[in-house]
């Protein structure tokens, strides 16, 4: 199997992913992007624009909601009345 762009230059690839996300959602949203090989989620790379403690809290809250079978609300839906 040949090298993917991620394998060739992980840091640069993750920065491009982060730049794309920032361009799409703007500075008012925090984000976290993670990639890992199928079948081995104990290893991987991630990038975020938030401080680690804040992102850990957000990820835990989202994981808890998903494990409970709840949907994660879309921020745009919260403003609809």
Q: pLDDT digits over 37-81, tens only?
A: 888 777 788 899 999 999 999 999 999 999 999 887 777 776 665
Assess whether 4 and 40 both reside in one domain: yes
- Report the domain count for the chain: 2
Q: Where are the alpha helices (DSSP H) in the chain?
A: 5-8, 10-25, 52-67, 75-78
- Picking from 67, 69, 37, 30, the residue whose alpha carbon sits closest to that of residue 52 is 30
Q: Which residues contact 54 (CB under 8 A, 6 or more apart)?
A: 30
In this structure, the answer to whether residues 17 and 30 fall within a common structural domain is yes
pLDDT at position 56: 94
Whether residues 55 and 31 fall in one domain = no
- Residue 77's domain comprises 50-81
Cβ atoms of 22 and 49 closer than 8 Å? yes
- Residue 22 sits in the same domain as residue 8: yes
Q: Say if residue 4 is in the same domain as residue 41.
A: yes
pTM of the model: 0.67
- Check whether residue 30 and residue 3 sit in a common domain: yes
């Amino acid at each position: 199997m040949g090298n993917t762009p991620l394998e060739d230059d992980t840091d640069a690839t993750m920065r491009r992913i982060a730049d794309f996300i920032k361009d799409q959602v703007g500075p008012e949203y925090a984000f976290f992007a993670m990639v890992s090989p199928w079948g081995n989620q104990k290893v991987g790379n991630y990038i975020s624009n938030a401080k680690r403690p804040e992102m850990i809290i957000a990820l835990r809250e989202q994981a808890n909601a998903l494990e409970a079978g709840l949907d994660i609300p879309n921020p745009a839906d919260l403003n609809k009345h």
